[in-house]
Chain A
Amino acid sequence: MFRTQELEINMGPQHPATHGVLRLLLTLDGETIVGMKPIIGYLHRGVEKLSETRTYPQIIPYTDRLDYVASFAENHSYVGAVEKLLGIDPPPRAKYLRVILAEFQRIASHLLWLATHALDIGAMTIFLYTFREREKILDLFEAYCGARLTYNAVRIGGMPFDLPDGWVDAAKRMLDEFPVRLQQYETLLTNNRIWRKRTEGIGVIDADTALAWGLTGPSLRGSGIDYDVRKHLPYEVYDELDFDVPVGERGDTYDRYLVRMEEMRQSRRIILQALENLPDGDVMTRVPKRIKAPAGAEAYFMTESPRGEMSVYLQADGSDKPYRVRFRSPSFNNLQALPVLSKGHMVADVIALIGTIDIVLGCVDR
């Protein structure tokens, strides 16, 4: 007469905590998760295929829409791949500008991650505090290129503009007060009993499993693997700058939180050094009006985006359009590990886990 039954529940694609249009098919035993199936594709736009019909510079704005909260990193990866394909070396000032903007982008993206992660776990005030700082970074981007979200601010062969007057001072002001702000967030969260209870031991993934699932970025470093593209396959001028790569120990949500918090401090360090050593000169090298790559040429270029390893593969067919473009997005690989992370946890942990792998659906679905 009485029987128990597992409950199947759809989380998303319209759900306040799935950060966009992720759909999770959960199988629940009470509140415990026994099965989870992420269903993606609600934001698929066919960027890779579209790119085959666009010239090399025309593709840059498409990359803005991949990871729309860190679009500079995507611009950067794509342009880096084209430059590698053509053997173009941008001028040193442009390289420094790219590093400065990429690190500001990393801070902005991590602030957004912290905001939503904390909000999902119920700490709503952090959300508004981090947005205050993120706003200042977006202002800096706006002053640089006029856009606040989709920058389209990297060009093949350099950067479109030099820094406007007063930009360096504004950036330094922002960086000066940033450690105080970070300390405020940490006061609210790091040693908060409830926060620790909600994140410690949740979504543990050991180093081998993390590698096997192809995790990259902070999600991998939280498991204790010291792998950062900026350090191990340096691009631009990262090898000239001094910074640490924070790693976790236990590979749980709390460690990944600490890793990202420390990464924001390291990014600040990188920007300060880069502003200090910023060379004079042009920001753009001479490139042909019509960019063509020789037939059969290939390039694979990776950068460390805020979410992990963002790589672009290009194959040329001799025309001004690529024959094949492939974006290896960190969000996609990180999302694959979600069912592994969630095994045996409860419904409430799912949202903590979606937060901790820090995915952007635009990047997952492409």
Chain B
Amino acid sequence: MFEGLILFGQSIARFSTPETIFYALLASLVGVVIGALPGLTATMGLALMTTLTIKLQPNEALLILICTYVGAIYGGSRSAILLNIPGTPASAASCLDGYALARQGLAGRAMGIATTGSVLGTLIGMFFLAGFTPILGNLALKFGAYEFFWLALFGVIIAGTLTGNDPLKGWIAGVAGLFVATIGQEPQYAYERFAFGMRDLAGGIQLVPALVGAFGFAELLTAMKNRQAPVKINPFDSVIPKLRDVTKYWRTILRSGLIGTGVGIVPGVGEDVAAWSSYAAAKRASKEPELFGKGSIDGLMAAETGDNACVPGAVIPVLTLAVPGSAPAAVLMAAMIIHGIKPGPLIMIENPQFVYDVVAMMLFATIGILIYGLTLTKLLIQVLRVPQATIVPIIFVLCTVGSFAIAGRLFDVYVMLAFGLIGYMLRHFGYPMAPLVLGIVLGDLFEKNLRRALVLSDGDLTPFFTRPISAALAVLIAGSVGWKLWTLRRKKVAS
């Protein structure tokens, strides 16, 4: 306990330099702007910032990425409240009550609620990040090949089940992602798979250019499909949060913080599910459920607290298991690996300070969004007026440069283009992107551990189901698939 506090204090002291504070504030601002702009998501922002920060020191680069992540999830609420368009998918739940409040002339109060919820949500998540990571890290030390195999499968299946509207398409996207990870030299014999004699492809598909394509280029194509509607922002009241909103809704804040963090810990689920789950729980617990969707402060507070609490939550499995809790966390994990940090079960033994560094980075990000939420709202919403025709080519230039910057190869630019086109097609036909990303990230973990486990057991499948953690994960996978199929069946019968 005290050791953790000392390490956290050391991290805070190390980051309290003018240079890192400048980076943190700038990155939070970039995050808020990316999040506020409809069509640009946190995943895309992180992928682009990963490429931009490739030459920085690891701690500086990760500080920038975490501040961008927290800022983007918070920034999505601006366009949700003012335009009824979620800036990021995580803010979709905030549209319901945020925009209703704005129509009642209370947009300022709604933005104040969003700031309060986001700040407190991140703080609750941070508390669990600091407290849970060492515990989960110890548990992760008991994981062997069988458990890691199930965990990788669990991430892909859960992401396919819970993101998007159609679990079947989610699972297809997840398996397609797993397949992409097999392209290039395989780990045991360095045999070239699906490389077709191309030397660049034999090295495998790099994660960041693929993500920049699937989340950057594909999102730009989707955003440009329709002509931009004229942006009309009505004047609003004060954005300074009221203390009574915190005292009156403390139960909602605490509940949503816990739900958000919990959803974040589950591999592959992410901020949008956290926001909707918190919103649904707040509605069930509310004495005025009829107000939800018509301008409920309770509802907005729940959604905003839930999605931001999910950010630190999603980082917990990254640090302890090397399995991302959300799509942006997958990019963050890739960035950690690029910068030579090895997330996974050994992190609390090899590099415990890093865990508290991440908590400190979250704290700086929280301070950043609080400052921007209180002071720069009027200026920041001017970003929403920037025409699509101006912003889209700039983002595309960043996608191109970013893909090239990772390894200095034009091949990665072509990977970005290919994944952008594939991503656009898949989105068009209703395939979610999160399972695809999880598949690409977890493919290596899946393959190595499946092969290792089968060699250890000489092809016997029994240990996959008899070891306690393996059995629990297998039951969770079967349960989540069964539950989803049952709810779909019930919906079909009801309709």
A interacts with B: no
**A-contacting residues of B (Cβ < 8 Å)?**
none
